[in-house]
A and B are shown apart, each in its own frame.
Chain A
Amino acid sequence: MATIDSRVLLDLDRCIECKSCSAACFYGHRGVPGVEYGDAPAASAPAVCRHCDDPPCVAACPFEALRREDNCAVTRSLVFCRGCGSCVLACPFGVLDSDLTRDQVAKCDLCQTRVAAGGAPRCVAACSTGALRLARPADAGKQGLLLLGGRTAGHHPFKRR
């Protein structure tokens, strides 16, 4: 299985908080939203799973529902997940959905089938301004982007907010 070394980066200079990415994920995954929105007083921005190299959510899951695939994507099994919320508490970036009403925790799967076929995850493909990009974090600098914390970027990421 080919490694997916690209991740979803957010360009703060272009995100208008429209939530199109959230809608695309919701409809693409049959009503399970994998793109969370972090609401802060000054702004709200999409928070997409970072697919960490050493994911705390995987370590925290008591049912082995979460695992890091051979292609480096962190996925969740619909069968084993019982919605206990341990991963939600463990994730240091707040990207997992804590709404347990469906007895499942919503989790980004990086739209692996689309990416493997050469496409982009739904959130990236749907982004109405090009703020979400699928790129190798190491390549962000080549695009003139300043990377903050590995996944958030921008030409002037401090200026607007």
Chain B
Amino acid sequence: MAATTTETTCLFCSLCCPAGVAVDEYGLTAPEYPGHTPAAHHGLCYRGHFIAELANHPGRLTDGIARDGSAMHAVRPAEALRRAAELLHGIRNELAVVVDGNLPCEELAAAVRCARDGLGIGRATIFIPPADEAMLRGLAASQAPRLGEAAVAECDVLLAVGDPFATHPLIASPALDAIGKARGHQLINVDSLRGRTSRFAADFCLVRPGGDAAALAGILNALGSFADLSLAKAAEMAGVAPGALERIAAALGKAQKLGVLLSLPEGRCAAASAVAALAAKIALVRGGGICPLLTYGNAVGARRVAAALGATPLAQLLAEIKAGAVKKLIVLGTDLAAALPVSELASVEFVLAASAMPSATTARARAVVPMALWFEMGGTVVDGAGQRRSAGRIASPASGALTPSQVLAALGAEKGTFSFSASLTQDELDALLGAEAPAADVLSAPVAWGAPTAEGRLVLVSRSDGIGFADGSMSAQLAWPAMMEPRPVLRLNPRDAQALGGDAATVRSNGVAIALAIAASGDVPPGVAALSPRFGEARALFPWTAGGAGPALVTVEKCGGND
């Protein structure tokens, strides 16, 4: 059989690029490069190439798992579901369902309805990464237009917050087109590390880790539109000279069409909602637009579905877990145990987990069933600019793999309660995706936007490498990322690295101590340490919560004492 190319939408980030995959008699074999986004010169970023590997991954779950005490047994998925049903017998009030938000909207709606109407479980949460949630919360109140890739290419001045070229490589193509179009077009970058974007910036503003919000408030103040924080105070909090913020404001003031690229990955900025709201305000003041760069391809769609169906917010679910109101979880598709701090979930029992791959969550679950991936389901997603995209189904689910709604329906069938249909009419889909979560006031506490500091400690920030997926579970199991960086490496300023000495260090933070290899990098300012967030053990160093993870204060000691 000759190979044919079929297309879906890549959901590894909110640019939602069309992704072509070659299909032959062995199934999905390799990524291909058919027509891609109109503004992009060429193809997918590296993440798009993972689709074929994920589909055929040798570690993929095809059997169910049942746990008796500490022993694990491979069982048929139906048997795992039967055991889960037994464990859940008679339990309703203490139970919650968490379903991964990076799935087609139809599937999300079906899963929430299935949990609520079919199984009678009151709490159903659609998980999106805390940083995505924080950014969208900050943007919710803003009327600033959302920019897609084509609109970014039309801008004459771009303000990049964070390191979008590292986290979302394909946005670099229209951005470079925009700044290369004419003399005077420029890219301005505000970030706490020297990243890939900074190398193309006409003006790079290096702020203290966590000082992003203060820097943007200062720029807005210099533009005459934010009086809650003086320029001098904002500059002090951001760790920059007031003149630097005034210079940026002057450049933005001359823009004919301003575009703001917003990339706020976990562990990079302290007040992501405030940063997003301030960035949108800058765009609005200058008549420009904003391009939110999210980790989940369908974060916007998932948030709309959650708002339309009244799903339980993650923050509320964690509060109820803490209060003891929720004691058991059904986790479908997301690696919740890796995505959130151990302390947040210590008291809860994972009764049933559905996952495509083994993960920290499946390791804790009493029963596990294999789950289908998004390109095995198909449906509608909403990209970061708010445009609906069709994420086509390009392969049949792997052997034994189920969708979240099928898992819940099967669980209900085990209990003999109901049957259901997962299909949606166009009107129902329109109603779901027309909903918006209520806006929140995220600019009321500018005093909290200061950068964390403490004598004798370094500030740990996440290094934007773009490989790490939001829940930390997928890229760790893929071949190319493992080849590029097989272990976590702590990057320090050459001066700090020399002062520390050696090539390994023990890093302590957040009640966690881990040994890491260290490397010197001129991209890291003094007093700062940078670490890729894609390794589970490294992620534990950051204070992950439902409100997002900011920079962490850490102590770094040479491994093996001072010898």
B466 at the interface (CB under 8 A from A): yes
Pair A20/B30 contact, Cβ less than 8 Å: no
A142-161 contact mask (Cβ, 8 Å, vs B): 1 or 0: 00000000000001000011
A141 at the interface (CB under 8 A from B): no
Contacts of A160 in B (CB 8 A): 199-200
A75 at the interface (CB under 8 A from B): no
Pair A26/B173 contact, Cβ less than 8 Å: no
Docked pose: A27 CA to B497 CA in angstroms = 35
**Which one, A13, A27, A41, A43, contacts B480 given CB within 8 A?**
A27
Docked pose: A91 CA to B137 CA in angstroms = 53
B437 at the interface (CB under 8 A from A): no
Mark out the residues of chain B between 506 and 561 whose CB falls within 8 Å of any chain A CB in the assembled complex. Answer: 522
Task: Report whether over half of chain B's contact residues are helix, strand or loop; otherwise say mixed.
Answer: helix
B450 at the interface (CB under 8 A from A): no
Residue among A20, A28, A160 having the largest count of chain B Cβ atoms under 10 Å? A20
- Say yes or no: A23-B480 contact (C-beta < 8 A), given A16-B196, A18-B165: yes
**Which one, B40, B45, B479, contacts A18 given CB within 8 A?**
B45
**Which one, A43, A125, A155, contacts B43 given CB within 8 A?**
A125
Q: Kindly provide the distance from the CB of B13 to the nearest chain A CB, expressed in whole angstroms.
A: 12
Docked pose: A19 CA to B41 CA in angstroms = 16
Considering the complex, give the chain B residue whose CB is closest to the CB of A41. Answer: B522
B118 at the interface (CB under 8 A from A): no
Contacts of A27 in B (CB 8 A): 30-31, 49, 52-53, 480
**Which one, A14, A125, A128, contacts B45 given CB within 8 A?**
A128
Pair B169/A161 contact, Cβ less than 8 Å: no
Pair A43/B199 contact, Cβ less than 8 Å: yes
A4-43 contact mask (Cβ, 8 Å, vs B): 1 or 0: 0000000001101111101110111001010000000101
Docked pose: A18 CA to B165 CA in angstroms = 8
Docked pose: A126 CA to B466 CA in angstroms = 16
Pair A23/B172 contact, Cβ less than 8 Å: no
Pair B44/A128 contact, Cβ less than 8 Å: yes
Docked pose: A114 CA to B199 CA in angstroms = 33
Mark out the residues of chain B between 43 and 98 whose CB falls within 8 Å of any chain A CB in the assembled complex. Answer: 43-46, 49, 52-53
Pair A19/B484 contact, Cβ less than 8 Å: yes
Chain B interface bracket (under 10, 10 to 19, 20 to 34, 35 or more): 20 to 34
Pair A128/B169 contact, Cβ less than 8 Å: yes
Contacts of B172 in A (CB 8 A): 14, 16, 18, 128-129
Pair A126/B169 contact, Cβ less than 8 Å: no
B176 at the interface (CB under 8 A from A): yes
Contacts of B52 in A (CB 8 A): 27
Docked pose: A23 CA to B466 CA in angstroms = 13
A110 at the interface (CB under 8 A from B): no
Pair B165/A125 contact, Cβ less than 8 Å: no
Docked pose: A126 CA to B165 CA in angstroms = 16
Q: Kindly provide the distance from the CB of B166 to the nearest chain A CB, expressed in whole angstroms.
A: 7
Docked pose: A54 CA to B46 CA in angstroms = 33
A57 at the interface (CB under 8 A from B): no
Pair B200/A126 contact, Cβ less than 8 Å: no
Docked pose: A40 CA to B473 CA in angstroms = 31
Pair B43/A26 contact, Cβ less than 8 Å: no
Mark out the residues of chain B between 454 and 503 whose CB falls within 8 Å of any chain A CB in the assembled complex. Answer: 466, 479-480, 483-484
Contacts of B466 in A (CB 8 A): 18
Q: Kindly provide the distance from the CB of A42 to the nearest chain B CB, expressed in whole angstroms.
A: 8
Mark out the residues of chain B between 103 and 136 whose CB falls within 8 Å of any chain A CB in the assembled complex. Answer: none
Pair A23/B46 contact, Cβ less than 8 Å: yes
Contacts of B484 in A (CB 8 A): 19, 22
A96 at the interface (CB under 8 A from B): no
**Which one, A22, A33, A41, A127, contacts B42 given CB within 8 A?**
A127
Docked pose: A14 CA to B196 CA in angstroms = 11
Q: Kindly provide the distance from the CB of B173 to the nearest chain A CB, expressed in whole angstroms.
A: 5
Contacts of B53 in A (CB 8 A): 27
Docked pose: A126 CA to B41 CA in angstroms = 9
Mark out the residues of chain B between 291 and 343 whose CB falls within 8 Å of any chain A CB in the assembled complex. Answer: none
Pair B196/A18 contact, Cβ less than 8 Å: yes
Docked pose: A27 CA to B110 CA in angstroms = 35
Docked pose: A122 CA to B484 CA in angstroms = 18
Pair B41/A20 contact, Cβ less than 8 Å: no
Q: 29 A-B contacts, Cβ less than 8 Å apart? A: A14-B176, A16-B166, A16-B169, A18-B46, A18-B165, A19-B46, A22-B46, A22-B484, A24-B46, A26-B479, A26-B483, A27-B30, A27-B52, A27-B53, A28-B30, A43-B199, A122-B33, A124-B42, A125-B33, A126-B33, A126-B44, A127-B41, A127-B43, A128-B43, A128-B169, A128-B170, A129-B176, A130-B41, A155-B180
- List the 10 closest A-B pairs by CB distance, nearest first: A130-B41, A23-B46, A18-B169, A125-B33, A126-B43, A128-B169, A16-B165, A129-B173, A20-B46, A16-B172
Residues on A facing B (Cβ under 8 Å): 13-14, 16-20, 22-24, 26-28, 31, 33, 41, 43, 122, 124-130, 155, 160-161
List 17 additional A-B contacts (Cβ < 8 Å) besides A16-B165, A18-B166, A19-B46: A13-B180, A16-B169, A16-B200, A18-B45, A18-B172, A18-B466, A20-B45, A22-B46, A26-B49, A27-B53, A126-B33, A126-B49, A128-B44, A128-B45, A129-B169, A129-B172, A161-B199
Residues on B facing A (Cβ under 8 Å): 30-31, 33, 40-46, 49, 52-53, 165-166, 169-170, 172-173, 176, 180, 196, 199-200, 466, 479-480, 483-484, 522
